[in-house]
Amino acid sequence: MYEIIQKLHSWWAYVAFLLLVIAVVNSLIGLFSKKEFTPNDKKIALFALAAIHTQLLIGVIVYFVSPLGFASLGQMKDAALRLTSLEHPLMNLIGITLITIGWMNHKKLTTSKSKFKTFSIYYGLGLVLILSKIPWESWFN
- Amino acid 101 reads I
More confident residue, 84 or 101: 101
Answer yes or no: are the C-beta atoms of 72 and 46 closer than 8 Å. no
Answer yes or no: are the C-beta atoms of 115 and 35 closer than 8 Å. no
Number of H helices, E strands in the chain: 6, 0
Round to whole Å and give the CA distance between 88 and 93: 8
Give the model's confidence band at 86: pLDDT under 50 very low, under 70 low, under 90 confident, else very high.
Answer: confident
**Closest C-alpha to 116, from 49, 25, 51:** 25
Give the model's confidence band at 71: pLDDT under 50 very low, under 70 low, under 90 confident, else very high.
Answer: low
pLDDT digits (tens, 9 = 90+) for 24-54: 999 999 999 999 999 999 999 999 999 999 9
What string of DSSP letters covers 38-96? -HHHHHHHHHHHHHHHHHHHHHHHHHHH-TTTGGGTT-TTSHHHHIIIIIHHHHHHHHH
Question: Residue 21: is it exposed, middle or buried by C-beta count within 10 angstroms (0-12/13-18/19+)?
Answer: middle
Answer yes or no: are the C-beta atoms of 111 and 102 closer than 8 Å. no
pLDDT over 90 percentage in the chain: 67
Answer yes or no: are the C-beta atoms of 55 and 9 closer than 8 Å. yes
* 82, pLDDT greater than 90: no
pTM: 0.89
